[in-house]
Chain A
Amino acid sequence: MAYSKDQLLARLKDLQIEFSQYEHPAVMTVEAQAKYVGNIGGGLSKNLFLKDKKHRFYIVSALADTKVDMKVLSQRLGLGKGGLRMAPEETMLEILKVPLGSVTPFALVNESARDVALLLDKGFKAQERCFFHPLSNDMSISLNTNDLDKFLKSIGRDPAYVDLEANPAVGKDQPPDLAAFVPSGSTVLPDLPDPASAVQSAGGSHVNANNNCKAATEKAIKPAKDVQNVKDKSAKAVNPSSSFTDAEKFVEEILDRISAKLLSETKEGNIAQQGQELGNEIANRLRKCCYPELKNLATIFKNTAYTQGFHAGKASSLTQCPRT
């Protein structure tokens, strides 16, 4: 059962958590939110709902001014350079039980979100109070971080604050510093429809889902907890990456790339400029720019399948016709 805004507020009161609430028209961006609660003291938060290639989810909650670099974050989590993407809208509803524009740490109160990791900006600590949506974006509540921690502990979470702007080196001798945040349980998702409609900007800042959809899926399949070593010059994978042997992963890979390209096409006022024609325009551009890349992927997939079949065939004829 999804928590409602009122249930959350009631729960906060039960826990004797001190907060102030402000109602306003529904806001989709931090800028819009600022119009209503910007002059009241306190830090506004931007909240990102992200996912990685292994279907693990993350809420990154930061002060509106904190710069969040997805590539850096991805590396610090040990996911490689392009491992993080904005999660599709469906998953927001499915897992966090909140609609677009309402991502908030409070969504973790839901059972369905038990495996979602939470990264909190250490910048919050420096603020007297911070603003979050209480599961609905037609209200903002402000509270002190200590009170936020109280709430998180009450739902079995260990609050951890991270310097989100830091960019430490990640390499052989420097393991990714945020690797501990990667969830170990995996969330099982129902069939997701086309994520191309999932352009979300929870909190509204222009954090671009990696324009650069060059996910280097260079390493061996085994879904072990590895420190991804992306820049491997002579990557001689002993086994091909599962993107090319597993149809599901292959389709994920393709859809990831399409959504990334889609996001890059829809940013920066395209919507205002083109209005209704946008759909057609984007579809055409997408087709043009995705075609060579996707064809490449599909050919690799085909070649991999053939190779496996070829070797299976060889082996089978050897076992059936022993040399005389």
Chain B
Amino acid sequence: MDKNEEKQREEEREQVVSPWEVSSSGKIDYDKLIDKFGCQRLDQSLVDRVQRLTGRPPHVFLRRGVFFAHRDLNDILDAYEKGEKFYLYTGRGPSSEALHLGHLVPFMFTNRYLQDAFKVPLVIQLTDDEKCMWKNLSVEESQRLARENAKDIIACGFDVTKTFIFSDFDYVGGAFYKNMVKVAKCVTYNKVVGIFGFTGEDHIGKVSFPPVQAVPSFPSSFPHLFSGKDHLRCLIPCAIDQDPYFRMTRDVAPRIGYHKPALIESSFFPALQGETGKMSASDPNSAIYVTDSAKAIKNKINKYAFSGGQESVELHRKLGANLEVDIPVKYLSFFLEDDAELEHIKKEYGAGGMLTGEVKQRLAKVLTELVERHQVARAAVTDEMVDAFMAVRPLPNMFD
């Protein structure tokens, strides 16, 4: 194979991962991504360390490698060991009303694990301005979507005494804006083009947006929460496609006298049809939505979930399933809490003892339980509750 052919092969396997596009001609190569972005693998020793420090079993997503990469997590843990607290920062771009399971992943991890295990506060940014600009929504519509999404986020179980949710349109100004300007001064136009791929045709709103997503990493952006705590560290759980924003932020932070935020990053939740991309809110059959009924969930899994099983029962019993591409097993590894059961399923299914139908049935049960629990919680979230979460108020018990 000569040099040219090799190069061609390389380019063909090109994958695109950015905050606005995730696609690949084959499976997403996460190792390559880690190399390209320059972050670190979250290995077992780190997971063990977290377990020791928090005194509780690590979350499913950590055990199964869903959250698989990080930046400076060790520094946060070092500080925590010495008694220094930190705060969490995560966010959502409210581009649609329909939230699917993939969207819930960072919130589930942040809430049911990080917030509980470390007992730290959380700020959640709703980037309604970003969606207004990128998706060409009206200001009112993006604000409305932000509030609707906030309800689903709250339904994940966040504690109002430790969580501050804000939308950019509401909150940008004051100390937040001051930090935005400080950050903006440190990033050249060329740099931002290099990181985000802007062209001369992109409007200036887009170009000046990155600081908005950067500054929640700095405690001084939230004087009502962290005044006097300028050296509070920040940990950002997010999907790996958000890494570019925070690479930029980490670059700028020391130059303006702040700690670099640490990151803990997750892989993409695969679409029902297979691993080649991430779920899209615009294709209803690529995902399980939090509004889906038990029937719809069962239907979608049965009809659209890409199966690694063989074409016929006989063949399947002989060869077993291809676990690499099988979506139901992948989904189970996200949401089936019982390690032993998952192992059993993988073993039996991989050997051909278990059939695709059974695996899909198990998955339907797990997802239905999850979604129904979410729906109950969602129904209890009122507009007043959203107001309370979004009110600019102190959180005196945030470290309890």
Contact = CB atoms under 8 A, between A and B. Distances in A.
A232 B380 CA distance: 13
Given A292-B112, A293-B373, A299-B159, A218 B388 contact: no
A310 B159 CA distance: 14
B376 interface: yes
Contacts of A244: 380
Interface residues of A, number: 32
Nearest to A243: B380
Interface stretch (A96-104, A138-146, A233-241, A262-270): A233-241
A231 B375 CA distance: 10
B384 interface: yes
Interface stretch (A5-13, A35-43, A164-172, A300-308): A300-308
Contacts of B158: 299, 303
A222 interface: no
A206 B393 CA distance: 53
Contact of A307 (B369, B378, B379, B382): B382
Given A292-B112, A302-B159, A303-B154, A241 B380 contact: yes
A225 interface: no
Interface in B349-392: 369, 372-373, 375-385, 387-389, 391
A307 B377 contact: no
Contact of B384 (A233, A300, A311): A311
A235 B375 CA distance: 9
B382 A306 contact: no
A216 interface: yes
Contacts of A232: 379
Most buried by A among B385, B387, B389, B393: B385
B375 A216 contact: yes
Interface string A215-256: 111100000000000011111111111011000000000000
A238 B376 CA distance: 15
Most buried by B among A231, A300, A311: A300
B369 to A, nearest CB: 8
A296 interface: yes
Nearest to B163: A303
A306 B388 contact: yes
Nearest to A289: B337
Interface string B208-229: 0000000000000000000000
A218 B160 contact: no
B161 interface: yes
B161 A214 contact: no
A303 B385 contact: yes
A295 to B, nearest CB: 7
Most buried by A among B157, B160, B379: B379
B376 A216 contact: yes
B384 to A, nearest CB: 5
A237 B157 contact: no
A230 to B, nearest CB: 10
Going nearest first, the 6 A-B pairs with the smallest beta carbon separation are: A218-B379, A214-B372, A235-B379, A307-B388, A307-B385, A310-B388
